[in-house]
Amino acid sequence: MPVVKPEQLISLQRNAQNIRNICILAHVDHGKTSLTDALLATNGIISPKLAGKIRYLDARPDEQLRGITMESSAISLYFSMLRRPAPEAAPEMKEYLINLIDSPGHIDFSSEVSTASRLCDGAVVLVDAVEGVCSQTVTVLRQTWIERMKPLLVINKIDRLITELKMSPSEAYTHLSKLLEQVNAVVGSFYQGERMEEDLKWREKMEEKLAAAANDPVKHSSAVTTGAAAQDAEGVVTNSAHGEFEERDDADLYFAPERNNVIFSSAIDGWAFTVKQFAAIYERKLGIKRAILEKVLWGDYYLDPKTKRVLGQKHLKGRNLKPMFVQLVLETIWAVYEASVDGDRGKGDPAMVEKITKSLSITLPPHVLRSKDPRSILTALFSAWLPLSTALLVTTIEHLPSPPVAQADRLPAMIEESPGAEHVDPAVKQAMVEFRTEKTEPAVAYVSKMVAIPQSELPENRRRAGGLSAEEAREMARKKRAEIARAQQLSSGDVGGMTRALATVSLGEGEEEEEPEASHEEEEDPEHLIGFARLYSGSLSVGDEVYVLAPKFSPADPHAHPEPQKVTITALYLLMGRSLEPLRTVPAGVVFGIAGLEGHILKSGTLCSQLEGSVNLAGLNMGSQPIVRVALEPANPMDLGKMIDGLRLLVQSDPCAEYEVLENGEHVILTAGELHLERCLKDLRERFAKCDIQAGEPIVPYRETIVSAPEMAPPREKDLPRGTVAGVTSSKQISIRLRVRPLPAAVTNFLSKNASSIKQFYSQNKAEERRGRQKGDSQPVEEGGEEIEAAGGDETSIISLDDFQKSLKKAFEEIKADREVWASAIDNIAAFGPRRVGSNLLIDASSNGIFKRFLRHAQQSEQSPNGTESPAPSATDSLTARDFADKIGYAFQLATAQGPLCNEPIQGVAVFIEDVSIAIPAEEESTAREKLGRLTGEVIRTVRDSIHQGFLDWSPRLLLAMYSCEIQASTEVLGRVYGVITRRRGRILSEALKEGTPFFTILSVLPVAESFGFSDEIRKRTSGAASPQLIFAGFEMLDIDPFWIPFTEEELEDLGELADKENVAKRYMDRVRSRKGLFIQGKKLVVDAEKQKTLKR
């Protein structure tokens, strides 16, 4: 294949109509990288013989070793084809630039899929013809739906239906039809969910209009005459005449071969086709127009062998005919396989191969026909007849949109969903949507991730290809002549020449002495961070200055801390997989690399040429949350600084990895799973820290909660309700009475899912307080820590304050027991915890209203829960309960962040503050405010301990982090898979046989604490026949009291006094307490107290 030079690719970047930005998405091992290899062979980057074997874009050694992709890689490809500008015009040569991104399929690296999808306009979704729709297939289809990318379906590995499952063409057609239905069912579920949400909004809107019209007869009459709006602010389509909900046509969303958005392929054998290709092949043979053939080649259409007419199913009249797709397409492909690799003893049938090549007008080289490897004949025949690259690239160009078309369709909704969308400058929005590329237009680029590149691999440090310069060649020739002359003089025994030669040698030795230092510098080879970016408008050149907007930036307050910084672009790169090519300027619509952002962007961000009215595209990107934590330490304590610097560099270059330092000084790395952890440790040791690092046992997160169990110990305070604690400070001056209660499950789930909304409300409240606070006022006590997002929080599902209150009120109304307790709870919420966004409530149940309302509007900012004005803490010498409101709130955050069981976060608990009384002696009242600092510590400690005491008054429970596990296994290894899952305390949810295959799909849940080494054990037990996919599925309650001991007669009779049955919850709790250095109740320090024996006695 001809080699395409980078200059040719760079020249194509100016013609945006001929650019396609696509990413390849699929489940792990469904053939993404093998498919990419076939496309790279068209540009001469690799040999066509090595396509599917070399895995060119898997540049990491561990990727090659494991055979899976771990990092998304981008490469630019050139493709040319003849196209007719008009039906009757002569074909013209068109050149296209394909910016291709290959993404991982393993669940641990799903964050890489998120970063790749935002940069692209279209997606090529691969599905294994045998395995069908898997867990990651649903994930990537959902990603294309969320990002509004146009998808293209590739059903890959069809050769497995022939060689492994031994299906006939008719059976394969039935199997492929069902597979296509499964994929379309997934897409249909996304559409149905969106339409149901729109229908709900429409109903609420209409109810509000009807209610308003009923109250105002004039408006009612005008509403009847004018009707409802065609489209309201939420984008809900209604009928303008009658206000009826209009259904959208969803026909264009689904995959159908007749629409040219489905490709059938075998990447390993290098072939692919579409229905459109075979329509062109059979147009002349059958005498049927191509447009008609494209519609009838797939589906229940049959070809009458006598009349050569196409028949529908109802016109068969009992005849047993095969569908046209089977007769004209699949049987031909099956015949090629039978002739080349099946045949007698797997050696093929040369006579049949010759017959097929003649009928297809294909000529195979003689050395291929003489080859003893039957697969070489197969691949040569298919590469000449149905080359994979042609089918895929032609369909990509015809079906997937160019950047101008895609941006006009995708960006309006993306901008509306961005933070502070109403404050975006119309000029910026217009430049992005209308794809304006002039230098004078605002430049907006999205940086999806930072990639670490060794310094030696940067273009400016890499040796040029194409030979040496004239000066370098002359210098090398001079040195070569000097070496030859020296050798000749030494051999002739010339003394003068010997002296000169020795002088030359000594000079050379001096140069060699400097080489070790140079080589030592090369061994260092520092890493540089390059941004992985897409430009949406304007153009960027080296030396331009742009603002870097962090993911939390909002155009409503552009100068808020941290204020965006202006950086200078130091270099621009064309991404070519394993290498980079330098660029001087980049136009809109191109995926490129950018240097100069190191230290300014952590993981992702937005670049904009102006600050006021800019748009934040990074605020929408949400990767998978890391769940596995591991403590790290260097083997040599002197390398601690290297390890910390390496961790910071790793966090910047990995979209999902996080790094934190615990209170006890441990350096902890957070990763998405076991395989992701292994990759991070390898990068840390070999690239970023370059020192030996030891990893501890994985730290698994837990949650603590309480329930009302039938058999609980009696309350500690007999005179008070369960969970009520009356706490008194050590100075006996402040008394606090509070009550701890378990939150209903519906309320807890709602709060967990809407953590991002709570976080936004808190930010709005703090912003109002900052605006209302005058200069010179004392700063309030912070409630500790940065906000975090609880599990299940989703940035894209932020709801308004009114909707939040309505939904929360509805969740409270579902409670059947103790309704009077929760009736006014929503109006008295003072804080959420832990870290201000968790699923625990601090509720003000005091008579005089100590706290401010958390769920309040701007006009209600100074109203107390009972409706009266809530003044600021008094400036007099006497102390009131309101002076301690922020201290109690801080103690609530501390108590919920570290529960009493094993210092893990609490979930699903409500704390009612019933009374705060202050009893300061009269002689000390004048100095009470001066002693506020001492009282602050006492109050925080007392409230925290009281909440923990109230917590333990109920029946405590541990919530385990759980993985959802999907395994595909054959019947032979099914029992072994069940054995491994059961042994690790897993639970089988479902088991289903995939129709037409011998494989079962097993769905189960597995505790994260028991998952380490699970994948390896499954592969060993099944001899590699099964491989699990683990997806974090939230927290699940372990319904065992960790403090339970047998006390009834039946339990003592069954289990004995020592409880022979192990308390699993206590084992988990003790394991965490042991790791954190906490006291473990009942642990024996000395098991066998015998005299110690030594070697001498």
Burial of residue 6 (number of CB atoms within 10 Å: 0-12, 13-18, 19+): middle
Q: How confident is the model at residue 1075 (pLDDT cuts 50, 70, 90)?
A: confident
- Measure the CA–CA gap between 937 and 462, rounded to whole angstroms: 61
* pLDDT at residue 640 greater than cutoff 90: yes
What is the mean predicted confidence (pLDDT) over 795-817?
Answer: 78
- Does residue 721 sit in helix, strand or coil? coil
Share of the chain above pLDDT 90, in %: 34
Q: What is the pLDDT of residue 231?
A: 46
> Strand, coil or helix: what is 448?
strand
| pLDDT, position 1055 | 63
Model pLDDT, residue 876? 52
Name which of 237-246, 306-315, 1003-1012 the model is least confident about: 237-246
**Residue 1000 phi, psi (nearest 5):** -105, 145
- Give the pLDDT mean for 110-132: 88
Quote the percentage of the chain above a pLDDT of 70: 83
CA distance 895 to 293: 70
pLDDT at site 654:
86
Cβ atoms of 994 and 1000 within 8 Å: the answer is: yes
Pairing of strands 724-728, 987-993: unpaired
Q: Which residues of 183-206 are buried (b: 16+ CB within 10 A; e: fewer)?
A: beeebeebeeeeeeebeeebeebb
Provide the 8-state DSSP code for 245.
Answer: B
Confidence label for 982 from pLDDT (cuts 50, 70 and 90): very high
Q: Which residues pair with 132 in a beta bridge?
A: 128
- Angstrom CA distances, 493 to 250, 482, 971, stand at 92, 17, 83
277-386 folds as Yeast translation eEF2 (G' domain) (3.90.1430)
Which of 340-354, 534-548, 839-853, 1037-1051 is the most confident on average? 534-548
Cα–Cα distance measured from residue 14 to residue 586, given in angstroms and rounded to the nearest whole number = 9
Average the pLDDT over each of 46-50, 408-412, 720-724 and give the range with the smallest value.
46-50
Q: In whole angstroms, give the CA distance from residue 268 to residue 48.
A: 11
Looking at residue 184, what is its pLDDT?
Answer: 93
Q: Give pLDDT, residue 490.
A: 59
pLDDT reading at 783 higher than 60: no
What is residue 835's DSSP assignment?
Answer: T
| Fold topology of 419-624 | Elongation Factor Tu (Ef-tu); domain 3 (2.40.30)
The verdict on whether omega for the bond into residue 742 sits within 30 degrees of 0, i.e. cis, is: no
More confident residue, 911 or 252: 911
Determine the longest span between alpha carbons in the chain, in angstroms.
122
> What band does 589 get if pLDDT is binned at 50, 70 and 90?
very high
Domain 628-699 has CATH 3.30.70.870: yes
Mean pLDDT of the chain: 82
Higher pLDDT, 917 or 923: 917
Instruction: Supply the DSSP string of 1027-1072, one letter for each residue.
Output: -EEEEEEEEEEE-S-TT----SHHHHHHHTTTTSS--HHHHHHHHH
pLDDT at 196 over 70: yes
Task: Take residue 703 and report the two structure tokens written for it.
Answer: 């949650």
Contact 198, 236 (CB under 8 A): yes
Coil/strand/helix, residue 228: coil
Question: Residue 906: is its pLDDT beyond 50?
Answer: yes
In the chain, % helix, strand, coil (3-state, to 5) comes to 40, 20, 35
Q: Encode burial over 912-931: b for 16+ CB neighbours within 10 A, e otherwise.
A: bbeebebebeeeeeeebbee
Which token pair is 816?
Answer: 């059947």
The residue type found at 923 is E
Structure tokens given for 106: 């393993």
Q: Give me the pLDDT at residue 236, please.
A: 46
Q: Tokens 């837990």 belong to which residue?
A: 702
pLDDT of residue 790: 40
Residues 1006-1020: what's their mean pLDDT? 91
Interatomic CA distance for residues 396 and 868, integer angstroms: 65
Q: What is the mean pLDDT of residues 142-156?
A: 91
Alpha-carbon distance of 877 to 884, in angstroms, equals: 14
Confidence at residue 230, expressed as pLDDT on a 0 to 100 scale: 43
Q: Where are the alpha helices (DSSP H) in 120-261?
A: 135-146, 159-163, 169-215, 217-226
Chain segment 703-717, per-residue pLDDT in tens: 999 999 887 888 888
DSSP one-letter code for 623? -
- What was the pLDDT predicted at 234? 42
Q: Which two structure tokens, joined as six digits, stand for 621?
A: 């990107």
CATH 3.30.230.10 holds for 706-953: yes
| Confidence tier at 22 by pLDDT (50, 70, 90) | very high
User: Which of 74, 77, 68 has its CA nearest to residue 5?
Assistant: 77
CA distances from 1008 to 625, 905, 968 (A): 14, 17, 20
pLDDT tens digits along 62-76: 888 888 888 888 999
pTM for this model (two decimals): 0.78
The pLDDT score that the predictor gives to residue 510 is 41
- Cα separation, 693 vs 798, in Å, equals 41
* Range with the poorest average pLDDT among 240-249, 572-581, 922-931: 240-249
Residues 661 and 647: their CA atoms lie apart, in Å, by 11
Give the residue, 914 or 232, on which the prediction is more confident: 914
pLDDT at 491: 57
Q: Which residues contact 388 (CB under 8 A, 6 or more apart)?
A: 35, 38, 39, 265, 267, 270, 271, 272
Average pLDDT over residues 164-178: 92
Using DSSP's 3-state secondary structure scheme, residue 981 falls into helix
**Cα separation of 829 and 853, whole Å?**
6
**What DSSP string runs through 351-394?**
HHHHHHHHHTT----HHHHT-S-HHHHHHHHHHHHSBHHHHHHH
C-alpha to C-alpha distance for 411 and 551, rounded to whole angstroms: 18
- Identify the pLDDT of residue 463: 56
